[in-house]
Amino acid sequence: MGTINRREFLRCAMAYGAAMAMSRFSFGGASLPKGKRPNIVFILIDDMGWADVGCFGSNLYETPSIDRLASEGLRFTDGYAACPVCSPTRASIMTGKYPARLRLTNFIAGRRTLKGSPILPADFLVYMPNEEVTIAEVLKYAGYATCHIGKWHMGGEKEHLPESQGFDVNIGGTGSGMPRSYFWPRWKGNPPIRGNFDGEYLPDRLSEEACNFIEAHKQQPFFVYLSHHAVHIPIEGKANKVAKYQIKIKTNHPLKGQQNNPYYAAMVESVDESVGRVMDTLRRLKIDDHTIVVFFSDNGGLSVREGKYTPATTNAPLRAGKGYLYEGGIREPWIVKWPGVVRPGSVCKVPVISVDFFPTVCEMVGLDRRSVKTKGPIDGVSVVPLLKNPDATLDREAIYWHYPHFSNQGGRPGGAIRVGDFKLIERYEFGTLELYDLKKDLGETTNLADKTPHKARQLRQMLHHWRKEVNANMPRPNPNYKPKRNG
SS (H, E, C) the chain: CCCCCHHHHHHHHHHHHHHHHHCCEEECCEEECCCCCCEEEEEEECCCCCCCCHHHCCCCCCCHHHHHHHHHCEEEEEEECCCCCHHHHHHHHHHCCCHHHHCCCCCCCCCCCCCCCCEECCCCCCCCCCCCCCHHHHHHCCCCEEEEEECCCCCCCHHHCHHHCCCCEEECCCCCCCCCCCECCCCCCCCCCCCCCCCCEHHHHHHHHHHHHHHHCCCCCEEEEEECCCCCCCCCCCHHHHHHHHHHHHHHCCCCCCCCCHHHHHHHHHHHHHHHHHHHHHHHCCCHHHEEEEEEECCCCCCCCCCCCCCCCCCCCCCCCCCCCCHHHHEEEEEEECCCCCCCCEEECCCEEHHHHHHHHHHHCCCCHHHCCCCCCCCCCCCHHHHHCCCCCCCCCCEEEEECCCCCCCCCCEEEEEECCEEEEEECCCCCEEEEECCCCCCCCCCCCCCCHHHHHHHHHHHHHHHHHHCCCCCEECCCCCHHHHC
pLDDT at 372: 76
pLDDT at 324: 98
Helices 357-364 & 86-95 angle (0-180, nearest 10) = 30
Closest C-alpha to 331, from 82, 102, 94, 152: 82
pLDDT at 485: 58
Dihedral angle over CA of 433, 434, 439, 443, nearest 10: -160
Which pTM was predicted? 0.93
Closest C-alpha to 108, from 47, 155, 159: 155
**In the chain, domain spans:** 6-397
Averages of pLDDT over each 10 residues, the chain, 487 residues: 42 43 33 66 98 97 98 98 98 98 96 93 96 95 95 95 97 98 98 97 98 97 98 98 96 82 98 98 98 98 98 98 98 98 98 98 87 86 98 97 98 98 98 98 98 98 98 96 70
Q: What are phi and psi of 426, to 5 degrees?
A: -110, 125
Architecture of domain 6-397: 3-Layer(aba) Sandwich (3.40)
What is the rounded distance in angstroms from the CA atom of residue 339 to the CA atom of residue 293? 9
Max Cα-Cα span within the chain: 73
What is the rounded distance in angstroms from the CA atom of residue 171 to the CA atom of residue 151? 9
pLDDT at 334: 98
Closest C-alpha to 357, from 343, 369, 344: 369
What is the rounded distance in angstroms from the CA atom of residue 381 to the CA atom of residue 371? 15
